[in-house]
């Protein structure tokens, strides 16, 4: 194993897949000039001349061109700069990329990846701090992933690039400088499979992305109160691994779902619904959700912290399903 940052892990994934497959290329804003806004593409333009491109500020063009390139037999990786800008290209994502394979009877694959840096970071404010995975959850034809560590970032990105269906790759901006162990040898992280990050017997927490860290920290603190928490990292958000969740809930009989996105209309609602449909008679308490307040993310660091979900919110929810706190 070696220790590298999340950003370096995604860079390794890109380099390895571009070396392996000459049809893989990447483009976006400031990739060549700057190496990506978070340095996640640094060095690729020199190593792969002509296959790493800067493009104008036009998300509609970026995503539309990815579809055209995928249909002609290449594997484009389109960088959105910030996930918030997906809204500009929503017609291309929802009505074209997600549906072309079906509309034309499976005559062509759509092997493309949209990289989407998301999440709250350093007073980036309302238009650059959102967690927008909920926007794409209701669109058939898309795969959606959200790694939580350098190892899962590299493995999921490699798997995403090899998919023959479109993948939206959410990568939390706070994770980029964080370090973690990554295998030396080649590996893939399977799409559609969750990981039990911490075993437990009293309460199941289902989470993903940056919230995995917060849930693990909360779980360690709850251990001091004699509460054993199982933490599940979904990794793939669409389709998410409901079986791993159900197996855990059948053991713990209680479930909390935590994400950074606002609670209203978030992925947590879908997970909670499926848990109650498939494991109702195993539950000893309602499924609770933890997420951001239903407000735009503020520029003020004080308000930003107030809006975001934190470890205390997670611990309160866990105690609540155990009827230890109202």
Residues classed as catalytic: 59, 128
The CA angle 287-288-289, to the nearest 5 degrees, is: 130
End-to-end CA distance of the chain: 44
Query: Any residues with CB less than 8 A from the CB of 9 and at least 6 apart, and which?
Result: 150, 151, 153, 154, 180, 182
Q: What are phi and psi of 5, to 5 degrees?
A: -80, 165
In angstroms, the Cα distances linking 270 to 65, 144, 203, 287 are: 32, 14, 19, 11
Beta pairing class for 52-54 and 24-28? parallel
Q: Six-digit token pair at 316? A: 């309160």
Q: Which residue has tokens 């061109």?
A: 65
Q: Rounded CA gap, 313 and 174, in Å?
A: 20
Which residues are 89's β-sheet partners?
none
SS (H, E, C) 209-248: CCHHHHHHHHHHHHHCCCCCEEEEECCEEECCCHHHHHHH
3 state DSSP class of 74: coil
Q: What are phi and psi of 323, to 5 degrees?
A: 60, 35
The CA angle 223-229-233, to the nearest 5 degrees, is: 130
């Amino acid at each position: 194993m070696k220790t590298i940052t999340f950003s370096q892990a995604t860079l390794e994934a890109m380099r390895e897949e571009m070396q392996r497959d000459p049809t893989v290329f990447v483009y976006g804003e400031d990739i060549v000039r700057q190496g990506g806004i978070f340095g996640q593409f640094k060095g690729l333009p020199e190593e792969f001349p002509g296959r790493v491109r800067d493009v104008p500020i036009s998300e509609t063009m970026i995503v539309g061109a990815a579809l055209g390139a995928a249909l002609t037999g290449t594997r484009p990786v389109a960088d959105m700069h910030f996930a918030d800008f997906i809204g500009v290209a929503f017609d291309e994502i929802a009505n074209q990329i997600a549906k072309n394979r079906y509309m034309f009877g499976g005559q062509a694959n759509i092997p493309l990846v949209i990289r989407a840096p998301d999440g709250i970071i350093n007073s980036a404010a309302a238009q650059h701090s959102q967690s927008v995975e909920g926007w794409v959850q209701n669109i058939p034809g898309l795969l959606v992933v959200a790694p939580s560590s350098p190892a899962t970032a590299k493995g999921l990105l490699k798997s995403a690039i090899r998919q023959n269906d479109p993948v939206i790759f959410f990568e939390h901006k706070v994770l980029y400088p964080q370090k973690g162990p990554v295998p030396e040898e080649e590996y893939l992280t399977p799409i559609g499979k969750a990981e039990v990050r911490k075993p437990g017997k009293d309460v199941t927490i289902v989470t993903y992305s940056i919230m995995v860290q917060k849930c693990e920290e909360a779980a360690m603190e709850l251990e001091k109160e004699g509460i054993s928490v199982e933490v599940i990292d979904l990794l793939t958000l669409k389709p998410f691994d409901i079986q791993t969740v159900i197996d855990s809930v059948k053991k713990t009989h209680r479930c909390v779902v935590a994400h950074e996105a606002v609670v209203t209309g978030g992925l947590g609602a879908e997970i909670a619904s499926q848990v109650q449909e498939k494991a109702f008679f195993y539950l000893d308490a309602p499924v609770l959700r933890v997420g951001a307040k239903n407000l735009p993310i503020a520029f003020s660091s004080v308000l930003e912290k107030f809006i975001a979900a934190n470890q205390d919110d997670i611990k309160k929810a866990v105690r609540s399903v155990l009827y230890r706190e109202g």
